[in-house]
Amino acid sequence: MSGSIPPDLRGRRARDPFLVAVSTLFTGVQRVRSLRAPVVPRARPVDRTLRLVVQEVRREAADVVALRLAAPDGRVLPGWQPGSHLDVLLPSGRRRQYSLCGDPGDRRTYRIAVRLLPDGAGGSAEAHRLSEGAEVPVLAPRNAFPFLARDRYLFIAGGIGITPILPMVQAADRLGADWRLVYTGRTRASLPFLDDLAALPSGRVRIRADDEHGVPDGAGLLRGAAADAAVYCCGPAPMIDGVRAAFAPGGGATLHYERFAPAPIVDGVPFEVVLGRGGPALAVPADRSALDVIRERRPDVAYSCRQGFCGTCRVGVLDGDVDQRAASDQGDGSMLICVSRGKGGRLTLDL
């Protein structure tokens, strides 16, 4: 529409007062509208949940099952890299992380493996009860243990720690890198995925069972590593701690590891947590996490990784000074109670 005022309704050139009033009102409305902030559609949170089903259950060792997951309609799944994991949402609502241990080139299935923990309860027991056809929501793959391109590798896996390492070994072999794998465990029968490893050059794989050779130390596991090797290590905490203590950086060598259990608490001091304003106060010793202590009183408190990266255990802090120990702590009045702690006084949590 032109901004000029038309002749009056009878065709005269003089400006008609009625049309002038209508035009002025219209222009005013346009101006007010143009001053309003543009309406921006609110971004919806991205739902990363994939609703998968168990396509295959396979026993890989006495206490280890491998689950192959697929979309019900067989569609292509999000890609992943060696070292990635899935967050699996178990029927009870528990959320657990499991490393992807299949072939990243297979875009229609994911493979994970779960070792049944000795107490026979919790997430591992639930995962062992999943049968073929069961629905399993998962979050799309994430990678907290990236596999870097290098010429030489030493891989060290202990027991179920083979799960992130296996796709790395296979990738290193495909890439023509110079690699070695040391795979340890209580007995040969306790070691999953020996069949998969049998397909690799046998001279590069050393299976080392404790009942044949004794429990290895860190220096023994690192023996023979090239001076510029990338060392990738996953397994029980004592094994990782031994490798870390014996590893000598320099000459281009690098050490990369992933824990399945929380790291020991270093330089912790005792403190108290108060569960909500006016709630009970619980004593947290220097060598225990707030999460462990709180769960004795409130077993419903959610957690998953217990290592400060998944965010499941984040709670609001109502009062007190926090010793923030997680890389993802946000300084926003909340804390991850699996790793972050009090500074010695009282912490009142929004629980």
Residue 214: what residue type? G
Q: CB of 127 within 8 A of CB of 90? A: yes
CA–CA separation, 150 and 165 (whole Å): 15
Q: Which is nearer to ligand FES, 154 or 338 (CB)?
A: 338
Tokens (6 digits) for 153: 């590798």
User: Closest separation between CB of residue 258 and ligand FES, Å?
Assistant: 14
User: Closest separation between CB of residue 238 and ligand FES, Å?
Assistant: 22
Q: CB of 109 within 8 A of CB of 58? A: no
User: Restricting to residues 289-328, which ones interact with ligand FES according to CB under 6 A?
Assistant: 303-306, 308-313
Backbone angles phi, psi at 158, to 5 degrees: -120, 115
Q: Which is nearer to ligand FES, 220 or 311 (CB)?
A: 311
Q: Which is nearer to ligand FES, 170 or 289 (CB)?
A: 289
* Number of chain residues interacting with ligand FES (CB under 6 A): 12
User: Closest separation between CB of residue 281 and ligand FES, Å?
Assistant: 22
User: Closest separation between CB of residue 91 and ligand FES, Å?
Assistant: 19
Asked if 338 interacts with ligand FES (CB under 6 A), we say yes
User: Restricting to residues 227-246, which ones interact with ligand FES according to CB under 6 A?
Assistant: none
Residue 326 CB neighbour total at 10 angstroms: 18
- Choose among 265, 348, 342, 275: nearest CA to 307: 265
Q: Which is nearer to ligand FES, 139 or 177 (CB)?
A: 139
Tokens (6 digits) for 163: 């799960």
**Coil/strand/helix, residue 102:** coil
User: Closest separation between CB of residue 351 and ligand FES, Å?
Assistant: 14
> Where on the phi/psi map is residue 122: left (φ > 0), alpha (ψ -120 to 50), or beta?
left
Q: Which is nearer to ligand FES, 226 or 338 (CB)?
A: 338
User: Restricting to residues 121-140, which ones interact with ligand FES according to CB under 6 A?
Assistant: none
Q: Which is nearer to ligand FES, 221 or 305 (CB)?
A: 305
CA–CA separation, 38 and 237 (whole Å): 55
Query: Which residues make up the interface to ligand FES (CB under 6 A)?
Result: 303-306, 308-313, 336, 338
